[in-house]
């Protein structure tokens, strides 16, 4: 017979039950598990206000951005969002900045799709929403930028001649600062409002495409 194991002593050991959210839990549930319901709601609303949105903006994305501000891994946070949630939120932030927004613009011959076309009197943004779970490398990012520029040229070629120039843009959750790759701005969602308030058709180094 094998030797019987003696139970481990429990004296002086205190168990603490900490709620751990499911790995697939939404960002709002994760934020509530950390801050509590009321503080989580305030944190999400603060993010929405920073982006120029009303408190009723989709809470799951606001909560995701709040989590990244708290230092949560952006990749795991992005994984809790659906592609549709991310795109809708991007469109709302752009519309709140005064642009006229159209989602999922389809082109033919050749077939292309642009996630968001945002128009102002002086500039049209051709936006590709990248719901990445990890940041693309330099070569991959350049390829994505060039592909978005090509889609933008296809769209601009069908636009009214003499209209506002078009600027291809990549939007992401994972980067922490705006950068320009092959003339295409790569903009993290948290910096989108500031980018929209400062971008100009006269900015140097941007890949602006003439309409028509």
State which fold the 83-198 domain adopts.
Answer: Restriction Endonuclease (3.40.91)
Confidence of residue 136 (pLDDT cuts 50, 70, 90): confident
pLDDT exceeds 60 at position 3:
no
For residues 124 and 9, the model is more confident at 124
Closest CA to 118 of 138, 141, 136, 95: 95
SS3 18: coil
Closest CA to 68 of 38, 103, 43: 43
Residue 7 confidence (pLDDT): 54
For residues 48 and 6, the model is more confident at 48
Of the given ranges (38-52, 117-131, 134-148), which has the lowest mean pLDDT?
134-148
pLDDT exceeds 80 at position 133:
no
Residue 181 confidence (pLDDT): 94
pLDDT, tens digit, 9 for 90 and up, residues 159-195:
777 789 999 999 988 766 889 999 999 999 888 989 9
Domain segments of the chain as ranges: 27-79, 83-198
Confidence of residue 110 (pLDDT cuts 50, 70, 90): confident
Residue 5 confidence (pLDDT): 53
């Amino acid at each position: 017979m094998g030797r019987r194991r003696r139970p481990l002593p429990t004296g002086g050991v205190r168990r603490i039950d900490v709620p751990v959210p499911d790995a697939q839990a939404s960002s709002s549930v994760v934020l509530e598990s950390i801050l509590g319901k009321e503080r989580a709601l305030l944190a999400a609303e603060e993010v929405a206000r920073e982006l120029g949105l009303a408190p009723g903006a989709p809470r799951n994305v606001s909560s995701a951005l709040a989590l990244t501000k708290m230092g949560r891994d952006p990749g795991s946070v992005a994984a809790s969002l659906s592609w549709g949630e991310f795109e809708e939120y991007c469109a709302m932030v752009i519309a709140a900045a005064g642009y006229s927004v159209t989602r999922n613009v389809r082109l033919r011959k050749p077939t292309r799709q642009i996630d968001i076309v945002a128009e102002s009197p002086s500039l049209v943004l051709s936006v590709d929403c990248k719901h990445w779970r990890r940041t693309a490398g330099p070569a991959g990012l350049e390829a994505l930028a060039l592909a978005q520029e090509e889609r933008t040229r296809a769209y601009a070629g069908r636009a009214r001649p003499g209209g506002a120039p078009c600027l291809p843009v990549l939007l992401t959750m994972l980067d922490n600062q705006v950068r320009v790759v092959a003339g295409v701005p790569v903009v993290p969602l948290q910096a989108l409002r500031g980018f929209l308030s400062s971008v100009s058709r006269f900015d140097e180094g941007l890949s602006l495409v003439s309409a028509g």
